[in-house]
Chains A and B, each alone.
Chain A
Amino acid sequence: MFSKGTKRKFSDGDEEISDESLVGARVASSYSLQRQSLLDMSLIKLQLCHMLVEPNLCRSVLIANTVRQIQEEMTHDGSWHMVTEAFCGPGQSPSERLVATEVLCRSREQDAEPKLFSVISYEGCREEEVVADETLCSVSVSDTVSNVCLAGRVGQCWEKSELSGVERDEEALEDSRLGSGEDEEIDTEDGASTESPKTTGQVFGTFEIKNGSPGPDSALEELFSDVDTSYYDLDTMLTGMQSAPKMGPYDLLDSLAPSHSSPSIVSTPTCRSDLNELDHIMEIIVGS
């Protein structure tokens, strides 16, 4: 299916495939396959951090840049477009095709719900920043409002979401050692049958899916229900931290930042106000 889509693309639009272009298409599709495998390899490399020692930042940055480069090229080629279409079905709007790589690797489920998590931001979720200065004590709260990834602008979304997708205070957290307390369990078992390489968005930033409270949007909840809400501190990827217990050992963090694993994240007051924003996002995505 993947290669079929690619062939169509490379053989000049939707014309009949001629012999010459067939050969060209083969070459091109093998390039695409190589590129895809390079992408997968890179994503795996980013995930497999040495959990005991901080991974090499230089290496992580270089791999992430490579991933970004591949994704940009794939976007320009339209291959990304093709790939997502293959999985999402033709009836959906472009915005819905903004799918995380991991989703692409999953077996297609029957419902038409676009599985758009990962890359989708966290945007609306207001999280508190825990900023460490030398005293490690100052805490500031900030709104995180960057809107990453929305709408159907695939290319731009990728660029914005880049490697972290979400602003996440966690980036600021990256400076703080406290941030590490939050589970940064690199979850590789998101139900994907394949290796489920995460998007780069999941790699660098903290990434949190906020489920709405059950009331307003059951569709929303369903949408996110099978996504692991453990999120990645910037530090996680870059420094290889991991949370053993998802409930971080740091009470301070627990009290400050919305916690991690449970979908009842929204219990924290900060997130409730973001439901509206999340709704807004969903509307755009679903196109209603």
Chain B
Amino acid sequence: MGEDGESPKINHSFLRDYVTEADVISTVEFNQTGDLLATGDKGGRVVIFQRETESKDESEELGESGEYNVYSTFQSHEPDFDYLKSLEIEEKINKIRWLPQQNAAHFLLSTNDKTIKLWKVSERDKRPEGYNLKDEEGRIKDISTVTSLRVPVLKPTDLMVEVRPRRIFANGHTYHVNSISVNSDGETYLSADDLRINMWHLDITDRSFNIVDIKPANMEDLTEVITAAEFHPQHCHLFVYSSSKGTLRLCDMRESALCDKHSKIFEEPEDPGNRSFFSEIISSVSDVKFSHSGRYLLTRDYLTVKVWDLNMEKGPVETYQVHEYLRSKLCSLYENDCIFDKFECVWNSTDSVIMTGAYNSFFRMFDRETGRGVTLEAWRESSKPRAVLRTRRIYNGGRRRRGDVGVDSLDFTKKILHMAWHPAENIIAIAATNNLYIFQDRVNAENLKT
């Protein structure tokens, strides 16, 4: 711990270095304006951060912009038990998605393996005072003591953030929900599990519409599952879903009620030179995201991220190697199950940069214009608040420079699976186990949060 004398934060964190399983962050999502950032964890809790809106004067241009501070924390899902199957249902929050804001309140959807919930987050900063019949604590007054009448007024109080569940969408899924996506129509959303995708109306909880069902008649014929799904950002009739075989299917809901038949299927032919027993596993798509423009798709499989053009089905238009040095280690990664890790991928606000996570607390960013990638590290020990992130390198044969990390010394328990990019600015949120890192692309500034 080199420079630990300087920041009390680092010393403090050293003391509570153990990780409680329940604190492991399992999803991160900015809202549409980027002012709010929600994280969900394995213990079923949601923590919402809000960006401080400081007055923007000249000093702000050069210095720091608003920091994110905790806005609200609530328990979204509780551990549950499926009595018929004698199985626990984990309370881990798999995904959070914000609804577009329509009034003063904010709404978000959070889901665990089985149940999706709509939460309303609202502020209260005033309360009525001056009731005639109740006193300040709310107790009924003795009428005989009331001598005059007054009109109650609203007085400002300390800000209170209230979070209340508004809808609970239960019993829609037999299998584990892996994705939710809010439709651009503002009224519906989809939820996808391993074999089915349902479309819900935000106001209706007792019914959902099944739009994709890939469950075979005989489960013994099952060879492919759904791994992620998302609505198109502009066209409310289009959505895409990815599979464990590395295919992407674009479906148009206008074509038929049950979208088992895709409109387009995006699949890259297998490279025979690289074929191994693990080919299928590493081709499984762990995340799919539409670009903001709606023209491209970003997918993540085990070793690469790929950009696809919706107009071209035969293969991706860009492929970036995330950690090609792991290709020779697939057998060990299969043995320790790391090969099944599901990494997320994100676009930046202008669709010019893509980002995804890796091991050893590393994450990768690729500039689409230059085709170059950098490796960055989200690790408290090696960066101070407001320090500039330096790029890292993996050493895998060849010339080794100082600071390079050897492939064999990678820590596979430190995986960066979940991340989010601010919708408008270059601010990223990276979840590293139980820590949340927020990085801003400023000349000097960087914001470190745990």
Chain A residues at the B interface, C-beta cutoff of 8 Å = 34-35, 38, 41, 45, 52-54, 56-59, 61-62, 64-66, 69-70, 136, 162-165, 167, 171, 174-175, 177-178, 180, 204-205, 234-235, 238-242, 244
Contact = CB atoms under 8 A, between A and B. Distances in A.
A57 B280 contact: no
B201 interface: no
Interface in B103-134: 113
Contacts of A241: 85-87
B194 to A, nearest CB: 4
A57 B176 contact: yes
Contacts of A45: 337
B412 interface: no
A35 B276 CA distance: 11
A180 B220 contact: no
Contacts of A53: 87-90
A38 B227 CA distance: 24
Contacts of A238: 219
B219 A177 contact: no
Contacts of A66: 277-278, 280-281
Classify the interface of chain B: helix, strand, loop or mixed. Answer: loop
B44 to A, nearest CB: 14
B340 A58 contact: yes
Contact of A54 (B85, B224, B227, B334): B85
B284 interface: yes
A165 B219 CA distance: 11
B394 interface: no
A234 B85 contact: no
Contacts of A178: 84
A61 B222 contact: yes
Contacts of A62: 244, 280-281, 284, 340
Given A58-B284, A167-B218, A177 B88 contact: no
B311 interface: no
B82 interface: yes
Given A66-B277, A70-B277, 12 more contacts: A53-B89, A54-B176, A57-B225, A59-B337, A62-B340, A66-B281, A136-B84, A165-B220, A167-B218, A234-B219, A240-B87, A241-B86
Interface residues of B, number: 34
Contacts, number: 92
Contacts of A136: 84
Contacts of A35: 277
B369 interface: no
A69 B280 contact: yes
24 contacts: A34-B331, A38-B331, A41-B335, A52-B87, A53-B90, A54-B85, A57-B175, A57-B195, A58-B225, A58-B284, A58-B340, A62-B281, A62-B340, A64-B223, A69-B277, A163-B220, A164-B219, A164-B220, A171-B218, A177-B84, A180-B84, A235-B85, A239-B85, A244-B86
The residue among B113, B194, B218, B244 with the most chain A CB atoms within 10 A of its own CB is B218
A54 B174 CA distance: 11
A124 B87 CA distance: 31
Contacts of A56: 176, 340
B277 A41 contact: no
Contacts of B244: 58, 61-62
Nearest to A250: B84
A239 B284 CA distance: 20
Interface string B60-104: 000000000000000000000010111111100000000000000
A180 B85 contact: yes
Contact of A175 (B174, B334, B340): B174
The residue among A54, A136, A164, A241 with the most chain B CB atoms within 10 A of its own CB is A54
A56 to B, nearest CB: 7
Nearest to A201: B220
A238 B195 CA distance: 12
Contact of B224 (A52, A61, A234, A244): A61
Contacts of B89: 53
Interface string B312-344: 000000000000000000010011010010000
A158 to B, nearest CB: 12
Which 10 residue pairs are nearest across A and B when measured between Cβ atoms? Answer: A177-B84, A164-B220, A171-B219, A57-B194, A180-B85, A234-B219, A59-B340, A62-B281, A174-B219, A58-B225
A205 B220 contact: yes
Contacts of B340: 56, 58-59, 62
The residue among B84, B85, B174, B331 with the most chain A CB atoms within 10 A of its own CB is B85
A58 B227 contact: yes
A45 B223 CA distance: 17
Nearest to B216: A171
A140 to B, nearest CB: 14
Contacts of A69: 277, 280
A238 B244 CA distance: 15
Contacts of B224: 61
A215 B395 CA distance: 70
A69 B279 CA distance: 11
Interface string B210-240: 0000000011111111010000000000000
A249 to B, nearest CB: 8
A54 B337 CA distance: 16
Nearest to B279: A69
A80 to B, nearest CB: 16
Nearest to A42: B334
A250 B88 CA distance: 18
Contacts of A167: 218, 220
Contacts of B218: 164, 167, 171
A227 B394 CA distance: 51
B86 A180 contact: yes
A165 B220 CA distance: 8
A228 to B, nearest CB: 20
Interface in B172-226: 174-176, 194-195, 218-225
B205 to A, nearest CB: 15
A205 B222 CA distance: 11
A238 B113 CA distance: 15
A86 B89 CA distance: 46
